[in-house]
Structure 1
Amino acid sequence: MLILLNKPFGVLPQFTDNSANPRPTLADYVDVKGVYPAGRLDMDSEGLMLLTDDGRLQAKIADPKHKMEKTYLVQVEGIAAEEQLAALRQGITLKDGPTRPAKAEGIAPPSLWERDPPIRVRKSVPDSWIRLTIREGRNRQVRRMTAAVGLPTLRLVRWQVGPWTLDGLEPGRWREARPR
């Protein structure tokens, strides 16, 4: 079984929260037993999460050695210049080493749902959108990459993992898909 979930902002990417002040988890959105996340998506990121009951499929999706592409729509602070996008395409050196080259392009603001809470907007600082595709999945990698080129991330939406996309899936909703 493979489930595509549009994880809302502020939801933990796991089924339980043992903290003193429990936060929303995947269990608040998916009532299917025996499925587990194939990869993670930070609490302050939103978008596509894949859940499966198939250990081999989970490993194929989540393990960086399989180099499955993940595409993000990223709202950044500042206007993305060609030099910054070119740096992302070449790969960025982060504290934990160089990243693989990414696909990076400036895009028009996408038609997305409103985020709750909304991002902070500063009238004196413009923002822009980037479509960024990577083949690895380090901790907070996209945020660290955009910051390294001088474009701090304001909003991060994972749109696609391999062949699966968020297309037509509202926040907090899920659907079953075919493993490919």
Structure 2
Amino acid sequence: MTAEMTREELPAVRFRAIEPEDLDVLYKIENDTSLWNVGVTNVPYSKYMLHEYIAGSSGDIYADKQVRMIISNDAGDIVGLVDLTDFDPRHRRAELGIVIQCPFRGRHYAQAAIERIKAYARDILLIHQLYAYVDCQNSTALRTFENCGFISSITLKDWLFDGKKYREAVLMQYFL
């Protein structure tokens, strides 16, 4: 599978709301310190806090200004999480975040999920723009977003801090 891969060649993915039964998976992903360097999390989450998040989320992007969903495959395995955050209804844009669990990485699930969230954002949410901040050193993520039609807009100096040094990030944008 290459950059020229069609949507039909990508693995099938489905999105669904996060359920209380997903607490252990959410706990594992949110507390994976290797992911903290590419996001805004820098403290561990308790199961209680995550349970309260699941219980308190309306699932309505207009009310919560975000929506987070489970990504699953045809076998029903939880492949990862996708979220739209910092939703701005006036300017019709949202930040895209995606995490694929280790056993499913390198199998094009991220590309499949990004293609699906693009369609959801365009057809259901009527969003004009998706964007993501990607670590300049994460060549896999950069290539995946580029394969999904995202363009590099700007390089942000010293944007990400890994606890020892700052790294650059690229603002990737997709216009629907």
Q: Tell me if both proteins adopt one fold, taking TM over 0.5 as the criterion.
A: no
**Higher RCO (C-alpha under 8 Å, 6+ residues apart):** 1
| TM-score, normalised with respect to structure 1 | 0.26
